[in-house]
Amino acid sequence: MRSQKLSEQDLSTPDRQKLDRFYEEVQVESKRFLGYPCNGLFDYSPLFRFLQYPLNNVGDPYLPSNYHLNTHAFECEVLEIFQTLTEAPAGSTWGYVTNGGTEGNHYGLFLARELLPGGMVYYSQDAHYSIDKILRCLNLRSIMIRSHPDGRMDLEDLRETLRIHRDVPPIVCATIGTTMKGAVDDIAGIQDIFRDLAIHRHYIHADAALGGMMLPFVDNPPPWNFKAGIDSISISGHKMVGSPIPCGVGLAKRAMWI
């Protein structure tokens, strides 16, 4: 049963004034918005008419839902686009549209924990601050690896640390575009270390919140995606896409999906 719609005329005068003041502040601030990796050139006005409905993509986007007011068909279309951008073989990934890069990182590391119980997470000192929070939320053991001055993970430090802990399955959280320097961790180099140390059980999650929407359009990018051997990836919808509402994409190899 539909409830009665609330129109602008139903707002109290103080509430309407509050919204008007906020709108003016946003207009002023947007003109001097500088220094954050966010795209502001977008127009979502064709979607405004859908905001009057309680759309909710509850559940697996690939399965039928008993909540029929959903956009699962569009969500699957978006996921297919990102599957292509991250060079995953067709049909090889599962994923969903998240609320942002942090949620995608949380899902990827949760999946790694379930696949490798007792595993150790390795992440660089230039990794996004949310990684440390996620590790505490998931109660995951971790070791921070030094970074080079340019922001890339120091693979010599990683190699030595992995050598010391060879009995523990490694979960590497690689950053694909660090927040302050845009550095891309060396996925191929990480894979080489696994081979050199004969580590067969491992997991690589790519935090590509920043780089995931840039590297697909760069000539000869460094290895960074499913083709390079990652197991899961998180991409933000707030950076290059510029979504004004919570948005991101999380993908993982379908064989590993829980």
Q: What average pLDDT does the structure give for the chain?
A: 94
Which stretch of 33-42, 54-63, 139-148, 165-174 has the lowest confidence by average pLDDT? 33-42
> Is it the case that residue 4 has pLDDT exceeding 50?
yes
Q: Does domain 52-256 correspond to CATH entry 3.40.640.10? A: yes
Express each pLDDT in 192-211 by its tens digit.
999 999 999 999 999 999 99
Query: Could you tell me the pTM of the whole model?
Result: 0.93
Are the CB atoms for 60 and 212 separated by under 8 Å? no
Q: What pLDDT, on the 0 to 100 scale, is given for residue 33?
A: 81
66 to each of 53, 62, 63, 188, 201, how far by Cα in Å? 16, 13, 10, 43, 39
Vertex 106: Cα angle to 83 and 56 (nearest 5) = 70
Residue pLDDT, tens place only, 39-85: 888 899 999 999 999 999 999 999 999 999 999 999 999 999 999 99
